[in-house]
A and B are shown apart, each in its own frame.
Chain A
Amino acid sequence: DTGVSQDPRHKITKRGQNVTFRCDPISEHNRLYWYRQTLGQGPEFLTYFQNEAQLEKSRLLSDRFSAERPKGSFSTLEIQRTEQGDSAMYLCASTRTLQETQYFGPGTRLLVL
């Protein structure tokens, strides 16, 4: 059990650029979550997958955000045409069916200039 990993750990980009983050969950976990966290706030749900199916997407998520989990293993989160308001920590978590505990990765910190 190597834990949840995320790449990159830090990303600085200019407004208007596209960015993509990767999450590798714990290998036997079939559920994968993406959250966004800003300073002084708790993680905010963005979307989650069960295997390769994206089952729910937050209404707060604009069309500029898209997530995939093509083979039910790793997942990517893409933000198109980044805005300064997208600056945040993006957290990935995984778990498996009937297990309530989520295991979080270290996060990707995004700064949009």
Chain B
Amino acid sequence: SQKIEQNSEALNIQEGKTATLTCNYTNYSPAYLQWYRQDPGRGPVFLLLIRENEKEKRKERLKVTFDTTLKQSLFHITASQPADSATYLCALETSGTYKYIFGTGTRLKVLA
């Protein structure tokens, strides 16, 4: 069955550094992959989508890469700020079904 893995351990980094989060998937070839941000007690908020034919996507301080050979996506936040502290989720759509599978999320804490 399809499976998505994200680092379950929290990631602590110093303000101003680049945070890199990993999303690995198995038994699947998605047409695209999404990243969401979730704050405690709130619903996820969409950040970025990257398609299988795109190697990299950027939005302000965010960058996502997608390696379909490695079955991996990396999510980078440059010049991180304490306000970036949250849980970051990756999600895939099971092809053609409009049904989404989410990873467990990685909790990021940016230390001032």
Contact = CB atoms under 8 A, between A and B. Distances in A.
B93 A104 contact: no
Interface of B: 4, 6, 8, 32, 34, 41-46, 49, 89, 91, 93, 97-105
The 7 closest A-B pairs by CB, nearest first: A104-B43, A42-B102, A101-B46, A43-B102, A42-B104, A104-B44, A42-B105
Contacts of A101: 34, 46, 49
Describe B's contact surface by its main secondary structure: strand
Describe A's contact surface by its main secondary structure: strand
Contacts, number: 54
A101 B48 CA distance: 9
B34 A100 contact: yes
Given A102-B100, A106-B41, A107-B42, 13 more contacts: A41-B105, A42-B103, A42-B104, A48-B99, A91-B44, A100-B32, A100-B34, A101-B46, A102-B46, A104-B43, A104-B44, A105-B43, A106-B43
